[in-house]
Amino acid sequence: MIAELSAAFAALKAVNEGIQSLRDAHGHGRDLGSILGSWSEAAMAAKECEKVQAAGKMSYQEALRLESVTRQVANYDRMLHDVCLLQGQGDLYKSIKKRMAEAEENAAKEVARIKAQRKRRIKFWREIGQIFSIMLGIFLMAMVALWLFFTFFYGAE
């Protein structure tokens, strides 16, 4: 958990330095590409940390660091939007956000598919367990009935 947060902080530092250099030098598209890569790494690291948080495995310190990373990612997102607009590439920012939304939607669909598959598998094995339990109960009742029959019918003499 701390490793993910540290990675997010490192990626955010790289994004901040890149944005500052773009603002100062009115950088090129190549510089913007490296900043986008660092920004996406930071955003993905923050999302991984949020998944851990959703599992309920987070200390107070980690929660504070996660909140800090989340706010910094949002702040850098706004700064990246501004830089794209300053360079006349507003459509680039929109297409990036659109692709990110599609990727998140696909990831959510995949998670839903995996959860549904796991639910079906659990239901299948639960039904198999019920079938074997019923069969074992019937077998045991048949054995008790046979024992009672042979004990009292043939053993009564």
CA angle (15 as vertex; 37, 2 as ends), nearest 5:
90
Percent over 90 (pLDDT), the chain: 22
pLDDT of residue 117: 94
Provide the 10 A C-beta neighbour count for residue 111. Answer: 11
Domain boundaries along the sequence of the chain? 2-88, 108-157
- Residue pLDDT, tens place only, 26-37: 545 445 666 666
Mean pLDDT of the chain: 78
Q: Which of 4, 98, 84 has the alpha carbon at shortest distance from 42?
A: 4
The model's confidence at residue 123, banded by pLDDT at 50, 70 and 90, is very high
pLDDT of residue 77: 81
Task: Match 């300053």 to its residue by tokens.
Answer: 86
Return d(Cα 27, Cα 86) in angstroms, integer: 10
Q: Is the pLDDT of residue 116 over 80?
A: yes
Percent over 70 (pLDDT), the chain: 64
- Residue pLDDT, tens place only, 6-28: 666 666 666 666 666 655 555 45
pLDDT of residue 5: 59
In terms of DSSP H, where are the helices of the chain?
Answer: 2-25, 29-54, 60-86, 90-149
Return d(Cα 49, Cα 43) in angstroms, integer: 10
pLDDT of residue 1: 54
How many angstroms from the chain centroid is the CA of residue 68? 20
- Residues 75-82 have a mean pLDDT of 81
Q: Which of 87, 108, 84 has the alpha carbon at shortest distance from 97?
A: 84
Q: Which of 76, 69, 88 has the alpha carbon at shortest distance from 20?
A: 76
Return d(Cα 105, Cα 53) in angstroms, integer: 20
More confidently predicted of 138 and 48: 138
